[in-house]
Amino acid sequence: MPQLIGYILTLDALFTWGIASLVYKFSLGKIDSKPSLLFRLIFVSCSTFLLSLLFGTFSFIFLLSSQNLTEYLIACLISGFSVTIGDLLYFISLEKIDVSRAFPLTQLSLIFVYPFAFILFGDVLKFSILLGGFLILLSAFFLSSKDKSINQEALSEQSEKEGKNLILGVLFAIGAAFLWGLSIVSFNYVTEFISNDVFTTNFVRVFFGAILFLIIGIFHKDFYSGFSKVNRKKIKYFIFVGIAGALSLGLADTLFYKAVEINGLVLTSTFTANTPMVQQIFSILILKEKFRRRFIVAVGLIIVGNYIILIP
């Protein structure tokens, strides 16, 4: 029964992440990535603080030894900085390539999570999980790969520009994957060895990330442009990004880490690699993005991958 609850929490998280990615892509077509990210962090800080007041507690922080407190704060800093910088890279990636390409690539974070989960937390890397995870990641490559040009010889200036954007978009997405993997590992270290209060810890790390970008905004005014008079007519798009962030980085991340407590980091992280499939379906239905035939192959790989993972 507890394992089933972990699966349900994971499903809730991946559906929320998938839907939030569509909101980001839609809104970033109207507003810039830097001010939208800061606006989002402010929303997420408020929502995670409310969740920590309702379901968490701050009292454990004052009961920690000086060594544990130092480790706790450092791990939260690493997690907060890496997730927010990773989000910035992901937002930039969305400005250059389709969300149906960018988001699947971020699931490469599994490659970084697996070894750390084994070394730091003693999670068992079963062959079935590794094989299933590989098939699911392979499906992500199918979803994110470039379409073949009908006329390979007729490369216009526009197509060359799109090619450069594709390369940059892919690189930014992979960078986001690395930083998100680092964030997951450092967050799990806190809840595994220091405190199991995911609600309070999520607020602390997000708050650190918000402080980082508030400071950066002092030297780069474009981070604060979301609050300028010029962007008042676009305020609804900033609010959309803020709400999506509160549900994604605020609520869904918390559900994910609660699932990790139940089913372990390796199994839970592997299941979240299914998020691109959910996101791909929504992209086709809602954003009217192009349906690719390789989508069918990706579905088959994901079905087989999940079946292998669930083998006793």
Task: Read off the pLDDT of residues 23-44 as tens digits, 9 standing for 90 and up.
Answer: 888 888 788 888 888 889 999 9
List the domain boundaries for the chain: 2-309
Higher pLDDT, 124 or 94: 94
The model's confidence at residue 156, banded by pLDDT at 50, 70 and 90, is low
Mean pLDDT of 178-190: 90
Asked if 57 contacts 229 with a C-beta cutoff of 8 angstroms, the reply is: no
| Residue-wise pLDDT tens digits, 224-273 | 887 788 778 888 999 999 999 999 989 999 999 989 888 888 778 877 77
CA–CA separation, 144 and 124 (whole Å): 30
Average pLDDT of the residues of the chain = 81
User: What tokens were used for 282?
Assistant: 């929504």
If one compares 272 and 60, the residue with the highest pLDDT of the two is 60
169, 93 Cβ separation under 8 angstroms = yes
Residue 96 tokens read as 């250059």
Is the confidence at residue 303, as pLDDT, over 50? yes
Give the pLDDT confidence score for residue 226 in this predicted structure.
Answer: 77
| DSSP character at residue 248 | I
Q: Give me 288's structure tokens.
A: 């009217």
- How far is residue 273's CA from residue 134's CA, in Å, rounded to a whole number? 10
CA separation, residue 228 to residues 212, 237, 294 (Å): 20, 14, 43
